[in-house]
């Protein structure tokens, strides 16, 4: 198995070498090393600035007294043959909690080390610590269920036998419950801790992101669940040992929408050789169990599909079969008759050629919209018809008097016959043959709004999602090497964002109309505005990196429309403030850029 995992790492490196070449690969590896070193330095600085002070502790105690709700937490801890000193630290991290309405429910899974039993028997003297000694080893799910049977609390918190809670972990959860009494599932940020207690590798997470959870177990630690829901779904399932927490999270998420994220590190995941925190080699079977948990999720849903493992252990790709074969209306925009039209025809030919040559999905129509004159349109049609590899039978030309891109697209959408609209900038070229199928399998889901794709220019990322920082839109990882996997695989998995670019955007035709189409007063930012309206209406927007298009820089470069940007900011400032800023970009990151940096 170790050989297999080593082979997977080698295969990943080989794939990068083929993609980048020797020189770019070495440059990429050097950049990643520099980034990793800088990230660790930044994190140590962050720790120094965010450590809990005596004043913080006193304020927390005062706040607790003012609460109306004082929920009881049952901390569930399965134990098996752990290093005694680490077990003691884990237990002490519970005993030292600022919020004291808790019980610790421990199930020892027949550990052969007698020192473990001795330690646990000493702790039983404290009334809030309950221990059951299992007569035979049943593995982690069985032990977790034994601990769960001891629980009498309102909420269940999961703690591994060698990890630690931060001193404010239960306090922050109780604080959130007082603000949101409906909370059924709460998760926080986390970091790793070595045997000497040094903290590293923080994981600052987005708010609830279903597509991300269907790609990896991102909620992980600390996870807190309403006890009644855990009992309703019959706790942990042994057939998913190794990813039993993942299976649990997936099943709970199907039962409730009351899911909350605390953007604070409340959990230290111990990095030792026997823990998954140390790497994929520690528990390779866990990743097979994770795939199995996702397959079970699909079976419980109305979706027909399957799950693929990726080259990254613990990262998956959920595929859904198309419900039917809808017509897709591809609306190509961005042509301008003001002196650039002739030059842009070549771009248009390349765009259409890439569609017609590569696309494996056959139910689509192409609508080209521009403000070109009748004579220019006639010339365009003649050029397209004379091209040897281009079929004009499913191409429609739409004339718009306006130079306003939003108005042009709205006009074109009235001519569209498709069940789905796909807006496509003339400067793009398709490179993924099954791009329409991949976008449709996401967009067909009832709760999905807009679906965007990865855009790349000369090996550099142009688009992998848009975040709103202090009300302004930022393109994530703009200009970074395309090989960059992002923050915790954000660039290589389906991920939710507030907005995606209209340079390649799919949306249901009916939803586009329901949302009122593009706002024609926001020509340059109408795509972001549309996505925000979809999100506000309860839909999720998705970026899929599995569809990649090549993007050529515009022939003519326009200045940023500051007036429209201010209009966008003013229009959405109150709503974004009510969200406490962008839910998909952790509040701990710097708002100076969109690279997931702390500073």
Work out the average pLDDT over 41-47: 96
Question: From its phi and psi, is residue 21 left (phi > 0), alpha (psi between -120 and 50) or beta?
Answer: left
Q: Is the pLDDT of residue 178 over 70?
A: yes
Q: Is the pLDDT of residue 281 over 90?
A: no
Work out the average pLDDT over 398-420: 95
Q: Return the pLDDT at 45.
A: 96
Q: Return the pLDDT at 22.
A: 78
pLDDT band at 31 (very low <50, low <70, confident <90, very high): low
Work out the average pLDDT over 232-236: 98
Angle at 113 between CA 112 and CA 114, to 5 degrees: 105
CA 595 – CA 474 distance, rounded (Å): 10
Work out the average pLDDT over 525-530: 98
CA 567 – CA 561 distance, rounded (Å): 10
Q: Return the pLDDT at 23.
A: 67
| Residues sharing a CB contact under 8 Å with residue 202, sequence separation 6 or more, in sequence order | 43, 46, 189, 190, 191, 265
Work out the average pLDDT over 299-316: 94
Residue 175, Cα to own-chain centre: how many angstroms?
25
Q: Which two tokens stand for residue 507?
A: 């949306």
In degrees and rounded to multiples of 5, residue 465 shows phi and psi of 125, 160
Q: Which two tokens stand for residue 563?
A: 């007036």
CA 436 – CA 161 distance, rounded (Å): 47
Q: Is the pLDDT of residue 338 over 70?
A: no
List b or e across 235-257, with b for residues whose CB sees 16 or more CB atoms inside 10 angstroms. bbbeebbbbbbbbbbbbbbeeee
Q: Return the pLDDT at 386.
A: 78
Q: Is the pLDDT of residue 522 over 90?
A: yes
- The pLDDT mean for the chain works out to 93
**Dihedral angle computed from the Cα positions of residues 212, 213, 214 and 220, in that order, rounded to the nearest 10 degrees:** 130
CA 552 – CA 427 distance, rounded (Å): 5
From the list 317, 312, 276, 314, the residue with the least C-alpha distance to 140 is 276
Cis, peptide link before residue 457, omega less than 30° from 0: no
Whether the CA torsion 509, 515, 516, 519 is positive or negative: it is: negative
Q: Return the pLDDT at 198.
A: 95
Q: Return the pLDDT at 166.
A: 99
Work out the average pLDDT over 318-331: 98
pLDDT > 90 in the chain, percent: 82
Out of 25-39, 179-193, 286-300, least confident range: 25-39
CA 259 – CA 252 distance, rounded (Å): 9
Domains of the chain listed by start with CATH number: 1-51 (no CATH), 67-306 (3.90.550.10), 328-551+562-578 (3.90.550.10)
Out of 39-43, 140-144, 413-417, 427-431, least confident range: 39-43
Q: Return the pLDDT at 385.
A: 80
Work out the average pLDDT over 172-198: 98
Work out the average pLDDT over 258-277: 88
Q: Return the pLDDT at 38.
A: 82
Q: What is the pTM of this model?
A: 0.91
DSSP state of 449: E
Q: Is the pLDDT of residue 326 over 70?
A: yes
Work out the average pLDDT over 74-84: 98
Specify whether the CB–CB gap between 511 and 531 falls below 8 A.
Answer: no
3 state SS of 316: strand
> Locate tokens 């142009």: which residue?
462
Q: Return the pLDDT at 3.
A: 38
CA 386 – CA 380 distance, rounded (Å): 10
Q: Return the pLDDT at 4.
A: 38
575-587: pLDDT as tens digits: 999 998 899 999 9
Work out the average pLDDT over 350-358: 96
pLDDT band at 368 (very low <50, low <70, confident <90, very high): very high
Specify whether the CB–CB gap between 577 and 571 falls below 8 A.
Answer: no
Strand partners, 225: 156, 185
Work out the average pLDDT over 243-265: 99
Whether the CA torsion 36, 38, 43, 48 is positive or negative: it is: positive
Q: Is the pLDDT of residue 21 over 50?
A: yes
Q: Return the pLDDT at 302.
A: 84
Half-sphere exposure in the Cβ direction for 75 (13 Å, CA): 29
Q: Is the pLDDT of residue 378 over 60?
A: yes
CA 575 – CA 570 distance, rounded (Å): 10
pLDDT > 70 in the chain, percent: 91
DSSP 476-520: TTTTSBTT---GGGTTSS-EE-SB--TTEEEEEHHHHHHTTS--T
Q: Is the pLDDT of residue 596 over 70?
A: yes
In degrees and rounded to multiples of 5, residue 294 shows phi and psi of -70, -40
Residue with the larger pLDDT of the pair 387 and 422: 422
pLDDT band at 483 (very low <50, low <70, confident <90, very high): very high
Out of 175-179, 256-260, 340-344, least confident range: 340-344
The CA-atom distances, in angstroms, between 61 and each of 155, 178, 187 are 20, 15, 22
Angle at 476 between CA 473 and CA 479, to 5 degrees: 115
Q: Is the pLDDT of residue 7 over 60?
A: no
Q: Is the pLDDT of residue 48 over 80?
A: yes
3 state SS of 248: helix
463-478: pLDDT as tens digits: 999 999 999 999 999 9
CA 365 – CA 400 distance, rounded (Å): 19
| Residues sharing a CB contact under 8 Å with residue 6, sequence separation 6 or more, in sequence order | none
Q: Return the pLDDT at 127.
A: 96
Work out the average pLDDT over 486-510: 98
Q: Is the pLDDT of residue 1 over 50?
A: no
């Amino acid at each position: 198995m170790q050989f297999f995992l080593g082979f997977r790492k080698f295969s990943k490196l080989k794939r990068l070498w083929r993609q980048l070449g020797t020189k770019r690969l070495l440059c990429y590896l050097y950049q990643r090393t520099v980034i990793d070193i800088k990230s660790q330095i930044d994190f140590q600085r962050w720790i120094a600035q965010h450590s809990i002070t005596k004043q913080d502790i006193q304020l927390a105690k005062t706040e607790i007294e003012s609460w109306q709700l004082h929920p009881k937490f049952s901390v569930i801890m399965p134990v098996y043959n752990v290093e005694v000193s680490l077990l003691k630290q884990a237990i002490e991290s519970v005993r030292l909690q600022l919020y004291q309405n808790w019980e610790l429910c421990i199930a020892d899974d027949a550990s052969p080390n007698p020192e473990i039993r001795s330690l646990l028997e000493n702790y039983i003297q404290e009334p809030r610590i309950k221990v059951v000694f299992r007569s035979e080893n049943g593995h982690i799910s069985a032990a977790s269920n034994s601990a769960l049977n001891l629980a009498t609390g309102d909420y269940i918190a999961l703690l591994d036998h060698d990890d630690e809670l931060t001193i404010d972990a239960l306090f922050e959860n109780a604080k959130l419950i007082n603000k949101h009494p409906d909370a059924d599932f709460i998760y926080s940020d986390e970091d790793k801790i070595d045997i000497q207690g040094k903290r590293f590798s923080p994981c600052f997470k987005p708010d609830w992101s279903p597509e991300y959870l269907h790609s990896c177990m991102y909620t992980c630690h600390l996870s807190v669940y309403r006890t009644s829901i855990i009992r309703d779904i019959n706790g942990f399932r042994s057939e998913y040992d190794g990813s039993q927490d993942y299976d649990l999270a997936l099943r709970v998420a199907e039962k409730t929408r009351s899911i909350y994220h605390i953007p604070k590190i409340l959990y230290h995941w111990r990095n030792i050789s026997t823990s998954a925190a140390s790497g994929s080699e520690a528990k390779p079977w866990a990743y097979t169990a994770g795939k199995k948990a996702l397959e079970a999720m699909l079976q419980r849903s109305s979706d027909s599909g399957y799950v693929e493992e990726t080259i990254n252990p613990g990262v998956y790709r959920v595929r859904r079969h198309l419900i039917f074969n809808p017509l897709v209306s591809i609306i190509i925009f961005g042509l301008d008759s003001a002196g650039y039209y002739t030059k842009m025809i070549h771009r248009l030919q390349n765009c259409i050629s890439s569609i017609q040559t590569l696309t494996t999905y056959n139910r689509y129509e192409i609508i080209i919209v521009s403000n070109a004159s009748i004579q220019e349109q006639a010339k365009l049609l003649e050029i397209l018809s004379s091209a040897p590899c281009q079929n004009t039978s499913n191409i429609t030309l739409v004339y718009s008097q306006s130079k306003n891109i939003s108005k042009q697209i709205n006009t074109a959408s009235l001519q569209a016959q498709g069940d789905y609209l796909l807006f496509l900038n003339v400067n793009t070229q398709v490179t993924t043959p099954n791009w329409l199928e991949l976008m449709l399998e996401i967009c067909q889901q009832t709760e999905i709004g807009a679906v965007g794709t990865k855009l790349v220019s000369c090996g550099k990322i142009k688009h992998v999602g848009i975040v709103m920082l202090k009300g302004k839109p930022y393109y994530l990882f703009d200009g970074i090497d395309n090989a960059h996997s992002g923050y915790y695989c954000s660039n290589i998995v389906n991920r939710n964002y507030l907005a995606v670019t209209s340079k390649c955007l799919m949306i249901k035709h009916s939803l586009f109309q329901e949302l009122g189409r593009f706002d024609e007063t926001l020509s340059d930012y109408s795509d972001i505005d549309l996505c925000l309206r979809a999100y506000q209406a309860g839909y999720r927007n998705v970026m899929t990196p599995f569809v990649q298009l090549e993007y050529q820089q515009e022939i003519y470069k326009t200045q940023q429309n500051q007036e429209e940007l201010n209009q966008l900011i003013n229009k959405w400032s109150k709503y974004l403030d009510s969200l406490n800023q962008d839910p998909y970009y952790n509040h701990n990151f710097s708002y100076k850029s969109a690279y997931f940096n702390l500073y």
